Amino acid sequence: MRSLSGIQPSGQLHLGNYLGYVRPNIERHKTVDIGFIMIADLHALTTVQDPEKLKANINDMMLDLLCCGFDFSKTVIFRQSLIPEHAELMWILATVSPMGLLERAVSYKEKVERGIGGSVGLFAYPVLQTADIVLYEVNKVPVGKDQQQHVEIARDIAIKFNNTYGDILIVPEGEVQKEVAVVPGTDGQKMSKSYGNTITLFGPEADIKKAIMGIKTDS
């Protein structure tokens, strides 16, 4: 069995990433034949468009993941953009992806409401995500409950492709994580790089201390 999950290099790996993403994947990879961890830098282009910042984020993310304790006899960590087939397959899948299906994607609406520019890339995000999944012939895609729709869209696109061209793609199944840690950030909201409320795993000691000391508490 193969498993795939991805993480965007939109900032430094933080405590919420470790408890909600890294640690569950370390445990999951003990039970699969091979687990793929994708640094999703093509996806990150929808929010990070400073080349130097993105390059630094990618390098930091790779180093942080290497330090987290994965069993590399069962885990492959790779950078999405170094595999050109991701973008190539996305275009092929886009030709059979119904507009109505993408228009129903909740994540697009939520990101636009948060101030992220409503670009074509952001709108077509689920198509690239489908390419990410089916390219590696994975059986299971671990997701949180809030991301379950992403896999459902990927299934619909894969089925549409197979109906058009024959039984070629493995139709993926979502594996909803039952116990996913939701870590509050320094401002009380969910810890997220987008909110700037994180405590990084391997940042400078002074920065980590400043973040912790800035946490709002009940007097």
User: Could you state, in order of their start, the residue ranges of all structural domains in the chain?
Assistant: 2-210
95, amino acid identity? T
pLDDT in tens, 85-96: 999 999 999 999
pLDDT in tens, 170-183: 998 887 766 666 78
Catalytic residue ranges? 111, 190, 193
Q: Are 5 and 21 in contact (CB under 8 A)?
A: yes
In whole angstroms, give the CA distance from residue 136 to residue 126.
16
Tell me, what's the pLDDT at 76? Answer: 95
pLDDT in tens, 5-52: 999 998 889 998 898 889 989 998 999 899 999 999 999 998 888 999
Burial 26-57 (b: 16+ CB within 10 A, else e): bebbeebeebbbbbbbbbbbbbbeeeeebeeb
Query: By mean pLDDT, which of 102-106, 133-137, 178-182, 207-211 is the weakest?
Result: 178-182
Residue with the larger pLDDT of the pair 11 and 58: 58
pTM equals 0.85
Nearest to 45 by CA among 114, 141, 151, 120: 120
Q: Which residue has tokens 């790089």?
A: 193
Strands 2-7 and 34-39: parallel
Tell me, what's the pLDDT at 179? Answer: 63
In whole angstroms, give the CA distance from residue 24 to residue 37.
12
Sign of CA dihedral 57, 72, 201, 133: positive
| CATH superfamily of domain region 2-210 | HUPs (3.40.50.620)
Q: How many CA atoms does the CB half-sphere of 190 hold within 13 Å?
A: 8
